[in-house]
Amino acid sequence: MPDPSMLLRAIFESSVAGIICIDSHGLVSKFSPAAERIFGYRADEVIGRNVSLLMPEPDHSRHDGYLANYARTGNAKIIGAGREVTGLRKDGTRVPLFLSIGEFEADGRRMFTGIVSDQTPFVAERLELRESEHRFRQLAESIDEVFILRTPAPYRYLYISPAIEQVFGLTADAAIADPGLFFSFTHPDDVDFVRRTMQEAQFEPGLEVEYRIVRADGETRWVWTRYKRVAVAPGEPELLAIVVSDITARKRAQEGEILAREEAERANAAKTEFLSRMSHELRTPLNAILGFTQLLEMDELSVAQQESLRHIARAGRHLLGLINEVLDIARIDAGHMSLSLEPVAVSEVIHEVISLVLPLADARGLTVIPPDEGADAQYVLADRHRITQVLLNLMSNAIKYNREDGRIVVTCEVRPDGTTSITVTDTGIGIAAEELERVFLPFDRLGRENSDIEGAGIGLALTSSLVRAMNGRIEVQSTPGIGSSFSIIAPSVERGGEVAGSPAPITPASAPDAGPPAHTSRELVVAYIEDNPANMRLMESVAARRPGVRLLQAQQGRLGLDLIKSGRPDLILLDLHLPDMSGEEMLRRLRAEPGTAHTPILIVSADASPGRVERLMGQGASGYLTKPVDVAEILAWFDRLQDAAEGGPR
Ligand code: ADP
- Whether the bond into 503 is cis, omega within 30 of 0: no
Pairing of strands 524-529, 473-479: unpaired
Which backbone phi and psi does 295 adopt, to 5 degrees?
-65, -45
Query: Which of 460, 479, 482, 488 is the best mutation target for the ligand 1 pocket, counting ligand atoms within 8 Å of the beta carbon and taking the most?
Result: 460
User: Once rounded to an integer, what is the mean pLDDT over residues 580-607?
Assistant: 91
The neighbour count for residue 275, using CB atoms within 10 Å, is 20
Which residue did the predictor score with more confidence, 565 or 506? 565
Run of H or E including 11: helix 4-14
Percent of the chain's residues with pLDDT above 90: 30
Task: Tell me the pLDDT tens digit for each residue of 18-53.
Answer: 999 998 888 999 899 989 999 999 989 999 999 888
Residue 615, classed as helix, strand or coil, is helix
The neighbour count for residue 594, using CB atoms within 10 Å, is 6
Which residue did the predictor score with more confidence, 92 or 330? 92
Q: What amino acid is encoded at 142 in this protein?
A: S
Cα 184 to Cα 159, 170, 179, 187, 218: the distances in Å are: 18, 11, 10, 8, 13
Side-chain half-sphere exposure of 500, counting CA atoms within 13 A? 11
Expressed in angstroms and rounded, the spacing between residue 395 Cα and the centre of ligand 1 is: 11
Looking at residue 496, its pLDDT comes to 45
Looking at residue 7, its pLDDT comes to 82
Q: What amino acid is encoded at 542 in this protein?
A: V
Rounded to the nearest integer, the mean pLDDT of the chain is: 84
Q: Which of 623, 577, 584, 582 is nearest to 600 (CA)?
A: 623
Question: Which residues, in sequence order, are bridge partners of residue 423?
Answer: 411, 487
Which distant-in-sequence residues (6+ apart) come within 8 Å of 622 by Cβ? 600, 601, 602
Expressed in angstroms and rounded, the spacing between residue 439 Cα and the centre of ligand 1 is: 6
pLDDT confidence band for 332 (50 / 70 / 90): confident
Q: Any idea what the Cα angle at residue 312 is, between residues 301 and 299, rounded to 5°?
A: 25
pLDDT confidence band for 375 (50 / 70 / 90): low
Which residue did the predictor score with more confidence, 362 or 376? 362
Does residue 645 register a pLDDT over 50? yes
Expressed in angstroms and rounded, the spacing between residue 450 Cα and the centre of ligand 1 is: 13
Looking at residue 505, its pLDDT comes to 30
Alpha helices in 522-609 (DSSP H): 533-544, 557-567, 583-592
User: From the alpha carbon of 486, which atom of ligand 1 is closest?
Assistant: 23
Does residue 446 register a pLDDT over 70? yes
Output the residue whose Cα is nearest ligand 1's atom 3. 455
Looking at residue 106, its pLDDT comes to 78
User: Once rounded to an integer, what is the mean pLDDT over residues 482-511?
Assistant: 60
CA 57 to chain centre: 71
Output the residue whose Cα is nearest ligand 1's atom 23. 398
Output the residue whose Cα is nearest ligand 1's atom 25. 430
CA 448 to chain centre: 43
Q: What amino acid is encoded at 23 in this protein?
A: D
Expressed in angstroms and rounded, the spacing between residue 628 Cα and the centre of ligand 1 is: 27
Output the residue whose Cα is nearest ligand 1's atom 21. 397
Q: What amino acid is encoded at 238 in this protein?
A: E
CA 204 to chain centre: 31
Expressed in angstroms and rounded, the spacing between residue 34 Cα and the centre of ligand 1 is: 103
Gap between the Cα atoms of 487 and 371, Å rounded: 14
Output the residue whose Cα is nearest ligand 1's atom 11. 445
User: From the alpha carbon of 483, which atom of ligand 1 is closest?
Assistant: 24
Which backbone phi and psi does 527 adopt, to 5 degrees?
-105, 130
User: From the alpha carbon of 430, which atom of ligand 1 is closest?
Assistant: 25
Query: Which of 360, 366, 397, 458 is the best mutation target for the ligand 1 pocket, counting ligand atoms within 8 Å of the beta carbon and taking the most?
Result: 397
Expressed in angstroms and rounded, the spacing between residue 454 Cα and the centre of ligand 1 is: 10
Which residue did the predictor score with more confidence, 10 or 87? 87
- Whether the bond into 628 is cis, omega within 30 of 0: yes
Does residue 629 register a pLDDT over 80? yes
Query: Which of 445, 452, 486 is the best mutation target for the ligand 1 pocket, counting ligand atoms within 8 Å of the beta carbon and taking the most?
Result: 445
User: From the alpha carbon of 457, which atom of ligand 1 is closest?
Assistant: 8
Gap between the Cα atoms of 592 and 601, Å rounded: 13
User: Once rounded to an integer, what is the mean pLDDT over residues 460-467?
Assistant: 91
The neighbour count for residue 256, using CB atoms within 10 Å, is 10
Gap between the Cα atoms of 37 and 260, Å rounded: 79
Instruction: State the DSSP code for 450.
Output: G
Q: What amino acid is encoded at 549 in this protein?
A: V
Question: Which residues, in sequence order, are bridge partners of residue 342?
Answer: 382
Output the residue whose Cα is nearest ligand 1's atom 13. 445
Task: Tell me the pLDDT tens digit for each residue of 532-556.
Answer: 888 888 888 888 888 889 998 888 8
Q: Which of 251, 243, 214 is nearest to 145 (CA)?
A: 243
Output the residue whose Cα is nearest ligand 1's atom 2. 455
User: From the alpha carbon of 398, which atom of ligand 1 is closest?
Assistant: 23
User: From the alpha carbon of 455, which atom of ligand 1 is closest?
Assistant: 3
Cα 619 to Cα 121, 260, 387, 547, 571: the distances in Å are: 86, 37, 28, 32, 17
Q: What amino acid is encoded at 626 in this protein?
A: T
Any residues with Cβ below 6 Å from ligand 1, and which?
Answer: 397-398, 401, 426, 428-431, 439, 445-446, 448, 455-461, 484
Q: Which of 40, 626, 556, 48 is nearest to 287 (CA)?
A: 626
Expressed in angstroms and rounded, the spacing between residue 429 Cα and the centre of ligand 1 is: 10
Output the residue whose Cα is nearest ligand 1's atom 4. 457
Expressed in angstroms and rounded, the spacing between residue 474 Cα and the centre of ligand 1 is: 14
User: Once rounded to an integer, what is the mean pLDDT over residues 492-518?
Assistant: 41
Expressed in angstroms and rounded, the spacing between residue 182 Cα and the centre of ligand 1 is: 70
Cα 294 to Cα 82, 308, 449, 541: the distances in Å are: 119, 12, 29, 11
Expressed in angstroms and rounded, the spacing between residue 397 Cα and the centre of ligand 1 is: 6
Q: Which of 444, 476, 599 is nearest to 529 (CA)?
A: 599
Does residue 514 register a pLDDT over 70? no
Which residue did the predictor score with more confidence, 6 or 75? 6
Looking at residue 80, its pLDDT comes to 66
Gap between the Cα atoms of 532 and 556, Å rounded: 10
Question: Which residues, in sequence order, are bridge partners of residue 625?
Answer: 604
Question: Which residues, in sequence order, are bridge partners of residue 94?
Answer: 88
DSSP for 164-184?
HHHHHS--HHHHHH-HHHHHT
Question: Which residues, in sequence order, are bridge partners of residue 240?
Answer: 150, 229
Does residue 512 register a pLDDT over 60? no
User: From the alpha carbon of 440, which atom of ligand 1 is closest?
Assistant: 6
DSSP for 350-416?
HHHHHHHHHHHHHHTT-EEEPPPTTTT--EEEEEHHHHHHHHHHHHHHHHHTSPTT-EEEEEEEE-T
pLDDT confidence band for 203 (50 / 70 / 90): low
Q: Where is average pLDDT lowest: 69-78, 177-186, 366-375, 514-523?
A: 514-523
Output the residue whose Cα is nearest ligand 1's atom 12. 439
User: From the alpha carbon of 439, which atom of ligand 1 is closest?
Assistant: 12
Looking at residue 516, its pLDDT comes to 38
Expressed in angstroms and rounded, the spacing between residue 478 Cα and the centre of ligand 1 is: 12
Looking at residue 495, its pLDDT comes to 62
Does residue 205 register a pLDDT over 70? no
Contact 290, 309 (CB under 8 A): no
Expressed in angstroms and rounded, the spacing between residue 315 Cα and the centre of ligand 1 is: 20
Looking at residue 201, its pLDDT comes to 60
Q: Which of 341, 318, 317, 339 is nearest to 328 (CA)?
A: 339
Looking at residue 484, its pLDDT comes to 97
User: From the alpha carbon of 442, which atom of ligand 1 is closest?
Assistant: 6
Contact 34, 17 (CB under 8 A): yes
Looking at residue 515, its pLDDT comes to 38
Which residue did the predictor score with more confidence, 501 or 546? 546
Expressed in angstroms and rounded, the spacing between residue 287 Cα and the centre of ligand 1 is: 29
Expressed in angstroms and rounded, the spacing between residue 457 Cα and the centre of ligand 1 is: 7
Which residue did the predictor score with more confidence, 371 or 515? 371
User: Once rounded to an integer, what is the mean pLDDT over residues 295-308?
Assistant: 89
The neighbour count for residue 3, using CB atoms within 10 Å, is 8
Looking at residue 478, its pLDDT comes to 96
Query: Which of 391, 395, 401 is the best mutation target for the ligand 1 pocket, counting ligand atoms within 8 Å of the beta carbon and taking the most?
Result: 401
pLDDT confidence band for 497 (50 / 70 / 90): very low
Output the residue whose Cα is nearest ligand 1's atom 8. 457
Expressed in angstroms and rounded, the spacing between residue 491 Cα and the centre of ligand 1 is: 25
Expressed in angstroms and rounded, the spacing between residue 445 Cα and the centre of ligand 1 is: 6
Percent of the chain's residues with pLDDT above 70: 92
Which distant-in-sequence residues (6+ apart) come within 8 Å of 620 by Cβ? 587, 588, 591, 601
Looking at residue 498, its pLDDT comes to 37
Percent composition of the chain: helix, strand, coil (DSSP 3-state, to 5): 45, 25, 30
- Whether the bond into 154 is cis, omega within 30 of 0: yes
Question: Between the ranges 96-100, 124-128, 188-192, 408-412, where is the mean pLDDT highest?
Answer: 408-412
Burial class (CB in 10 A: 0-12, 13-18, 19+), 170: buried
Output the residue whose Cα is nearest ligand 1's atom 20. 397
Output the residue whose Cα is nearest ligand 1's atom 15. 445
Gap between the Cα atoms of 483 and 427, Å rounded: 4
Cα 230 to Cα 140, 210, 289: the distances in Å are: 16, 21, 81
User: From the alpha carbon of 429, which atom of ligand 1 is closest?
Assistant: 25
Gap between the Cα atoms of 146 and 246, Å rounded: 9
Expressed in angstroms and rounded, the spacing between residue 455 Cα and the centre of ligand 1 is: 8
Expressed in angstroms and rounded, the spacing between residue 272 Cα and the centre of ligand 1 is: 29
Burial class (CB in 10 A: 0-12, 13-18, 19+), 265: exposed
Q: Which of 210, 218, 222, 226 is nearest to 169 (CA)?
A: 218
Which backbone phi and psi does 307 adopt, to 5 degrees?
-60, -45
Gap between the Cα atoms of 600 and 623, Å rounded: 8
User: Once rounded to an integer, what is the mean pLDDT over residues 590-598?
Assistant: 92
Expressed in angstroms and rounded, the spacing between residue 346 Cα and the centre of ligand 1 is: 24
DSSP for 64-124?
HHHHHHHHHH---SSBTS-EEEEEE-TTS-EEEEEEEEEEEEETTEEEEEEEEEE-HHHHH
User: Once rounded to an integer, what is the mean pLDDT over residues 464-492?
Assistant: 94
